[in-house]
Chain A
């Protein structure tokens, strides 16, 4: 049986205002190693907020999120940043690469933050770019790459830090069908061959079809878990 990577207990996120909004409303969930999980739901259902909480980018109102035995809700700001650097990979909807760095530099940048030796950074960045089908594009800057290629660089960057899991927020939203298929194939391959855990927030059916676990969220609650 696979070991749990993320354990979520009674997670709540309430946005205070004239009428308090329960963006995440008492979610309990366990995600185990090697999962390829999609969080689906309509816009505004709370899946991005839930993903932000999982990634330690936002603080919950209550509840706990244990990643590898560490409750990240108790960490200080700097501890959280360091934790994200070493344990979580992010793929964003808008790629979010650093425009002044080349594809290879974008991938190795995260390893630079981890103080890894230069040789290791260069070798791993090359290997990751090759594994996402971007061999020969190492020196290109984001603006010289297509949307699909940029998102593949983002996937390589997310994996560069050797994280426990990758969180992807609408990773295919800005991609055409060919690029989407390519990207999903790559992530599926990484999941199967390297056992990397992926959690997507998406409403793209192409992603949902590939997922082996589908969690439906509505009004901040888990509606179904298949």
Chain B
């Protein structure tokens, strides 16, 4: 039966090639489309989460919602060493973050102030690679690094001074004058517009919070599952602390991703409808071409179920072949654009930047996408084969042989 199905495939090469090509291109288009969509988000999440905010953060309960220094943690009471020893944790990074009005003689802007220890930070804030002008501040110094976008807005350069005015811990005034030691390009566009980085101790001093931290970022080992690490860390949390994973830190990001994915899904669904009709067309053509032969086979004693099986087998071989070729051919494209993203320009770039997204299109190389879309197209192949099954099951040999 397999031999019969295989030979039937090649009796009408044109039809078989149309089926294979349609399946292949559908898989390629769907995978490319989805890879770009997932790739852009993957890159963004990686940038925001892995490089800047971490997959897990520990705060005083309520801090993330209120962003108030009043909800800071006393470092001396935190079991930082115990947290750092948990499997999958590379280190626990200390931060003090708050807001401040940052001024020059000409202008001012509300900014996010981050007190950090660059050498212990996540990759996006280690600053060595991010500095585009000047240098990283020295620990405990009265120097700051300003993000590129904020420096442009305030029209400051290395060596200039910035005035900070804010509210410190327990209502104390927080102010200071610091020199710009460097300007950094922060990969996340939103942060790049408003971030000021200063030594942790300097931030603690300015905000009148010596020994206080607002955030302990859990830096994970490569490949560690943040949910598993969270499960291990939870018993080590005191009642006054909260351990949040990135999905809880950025629920709006998750919603945006889901909305965007749903939009893409509509486009892919339309693509699947088109391919379904193309494949159905080839099956209708095949059934019409071979109606007489089907009648003969049933006449000489072939059960309809067996005949339907051979016919479905033929169609499955074709769609499976097309799906496999498509899945394989699209792989180099995925790899290429992951490492060579498309730089958007013009109005498109401006539109994307308005949403604080990096104007670059990356792909993901996740094979799950290829498998999913290959499987969906294969299922479509199975479903359209049901037309042939239906025709065979209601076939009348005498009428079919007259066809």
Measured between alpha carbons, how far is A84 from B7 in the docked complex, in Å? 26
Measured between alpha carbons, how far is A161 from B302 in the docked complex, in Å? 12
> Which residues of A come within 8 Å of B, CB atoms?
52, 55, 57-58, 77-78, 81-82, 84-86, 90, 92, 96, 98-101, 109-110, 113-114, 157, 161
CB contacts between A and B, total, < 8 Å:
53
A71 CB to nearest B CB, Å: 19
Measured between alpha carbons, how far is A55 from B398 in the docked complex, in Å? 11
Measured between alpha carbons, how far is A96 from B401 in the docked complex, in Å? 9
Measured between alpha carbons, how far is A52 from B299 in the docked complex, in Å? 10
9 contacts between A and B (CB under 8 A): A57-B299, A77-B304, A81-B303, A92-B401, A96-B296, A98-B293, A98-B296, A98-B297, A99-B11
| Residues of A close to B398: CB separation below 8 A | 52, 57-58
Determine if A113 and B301 form an interchain contact, defined as CB atoms under 8 angstroms apart.
Answer: yes
Determine if A86 and B401 form an interchain contact, defined as CB atoms under 8 angstroms apart.
Answer: no
Q: Is the interface of B mostly helix, strand, loop or mixed?
A: helix
B33 CB to nearest A CB, Å: 38
A94 CB to nearest B CB, Å: 9
B6 CB to nearest A CB, Å: 9
Determine if A101 and B7 form an interchain contact, defined as CB atoms under 8 angstroms apart.
Answer: yes
Q: Tell whether A81 pairs with B4 under 8 Å between CB atoms, given A52-B398, A58-B398, A96-B296.
A: no
Task: Give the residues from 206 to 222 in chain B that come closer than 8 angstroms, CB to CB, to chain A.
Answer: none
| Residues of B close to A113: CB separation below 8 A | 300-302, 306
Lowest 5 CB-CB distances: which A-B pairs, in order? Answer: A85-B301, A100-B7, A96-B296, A84-B301, A57-B397
- B298 interface residue per 8 A CB criterion: yes
Q: Tell whether A90 pairs with B11 under 8 Å between CB atoms, given A52-B398, A57-B397, A98-B293.
A: no
| Residues of B close to A78: CB separation below 8 A | 303
Determine if A86 and B296 form an interchain contact, defined as CB atoms under 8 angstroms apart.
Answer: no
| Residues of A close to B372: CB separation below 8 A | none
B296 CB to nearest A CB, Å: 4
In the complex, residue of chain B having the shortest beta-carbon distance to the beta carbon of A89? B300
Q: Tell whether A81 pairs with B7 under 8 Å between CB atoms, given A57-B398, A98-B293, A98-B297.
A: no
Determine if B300 and A85 form an interchain contact, defined as CB atoms under 8 angstroms apart.
Answer: yes
Q: Tell whether A81 pairs with B293 under 8 Å between CB atoms, given A96-B401, A100-B4.
A: no
Measured between alpha carbons, how far is A110 from B299 in the docked complex, in Å? 11
Determine if A90 and B299 form an interchain contact, defined as CB atoms under 8 angstroms apart.
Answer: yes
| Residues of B close to A82: CB separation below 8 A | 301, 303
Task: Give the residues from 295 to 322 in chain B that come closer than 8 angstroms, CB to CB, to chain A.
Answer: 296-304, 306
Determine if B300 and A157 form an interchain contact, defined as CB atoms under 8 angstroms apart.
Answer: yes
In the complex, residue of chain B having the shortest beta-carbon distance to the beta carbon of A114? B301
> Which residues of B come within 8 Å of A, CB atoms?
4, 7-8, 10-11, 292-293, 296-304, 306, 397-398, 401
| Residues of B close to A161: CB separation below 8 A | 301
Residue in B11, B292, B300, B397 whose beta carbon sits within 8 Å of that of A110 in the complex: B300
| Residues of A close to B301: CB separation below 8 A | 81-82, 84-86, 110, 113-114, 161
Measured between alpha carbons, how far is A84 from B4 in the docked complex, in Å? 21
Measured between alpha carbons, how far is A58 from B401 in the docked complex, in Å? 12
Measured between alpha carbons, how far is A189 from B216 in the docked complex, in Å? 98
Measured between alpha carbons, how far is A99 from B298 in the docked complex, in Å? 16
| Residues of A close to B11: CB separation below 8 A | 99-100
Measured between alpha carbons, how far is A99 from B301 in the docked complex, in Å? 17
B323 CB to nearest A CB, Å: 24
B1 CB to nearest A CB, Å: 8
In the complex, residue of chain A having the shortest beta-carbon distance to the beta carbon of B302? A113
A13 CB to nearest B CB, Å: 11
| Residues of B close to A85: CB separation below 8 A | 300-302
A86 CB to nearest B CB, Å: 7
| Residues of B close to A100: CB separation below 8 A | 4, 7-8, 10-11
In the complex, residue of chain A having the shortest beta-carbon distance to the beta carbon of B290? A99
B301 CB to nearest A CB, Å: 3
B35 CB to nearest A CB, Å: 39
In the complex, residue of chain A having the shortest beta-carbon distance to the beta carbon of B293? A98
Known: A81-B298, A101-B4. 13 other contacts (CB 8 A): A81-B302, A81-B303, A84-B301, A85-B301, A85-B302, A90-B299, A96-B293, A98-B4, A98-B293, A99-B11, A101-B7, A110-B300, A113-B301
Measured between alpha carbons, how far is A86 from B297 in the docked complex, in Å? 14
Measured between alpha carbons, how far is A67 from B10 in the docked complex, in Å? 40
B379 CB to nearest A CB, Å: 27
Residue in B7, B292, B300 whose beta carbon sits within 8 Å of that of A90 in the complex: B300
B93 CB to nearest A CB, Å: 68
Measured between alpha carbons, how far is A61 from B102 in the docked complex, in Å? 99
Measured between alpha carbons, how far is A77 from B397 in the docked complex, in Å? 11
Residue in B8, B292, B293, B300 whose beta carbon sits within 8 Å of that of A84 in the complex: B300
Measured between alpha carbons, how far is A151 from B10 in the docked complex, in Å? 24
Measured between alpha carbons, how far is A85 from B10 in the docked complex, in Å? 27
In the complex, residue of chain B having the shortest beta-carbon distance to the beta carbon of A55? B299
Measured between alpha carbons, how far is A92 from B299 in the docked complex, in Å? 11
Measured between alpha carbons, how far is A58 from B400 in the docked complex, in Å? 12
A76 CB to nearest B CB, Å: 12
| Residues of A close to B300: CB separation below 8 A | 84-85, 90, 110, 113, 157
| Residues of A close to B298: CB separation below 8 A | 81
Measured between alpha carbons, how far is A213 from B174 in the docked complex, in Å? 120
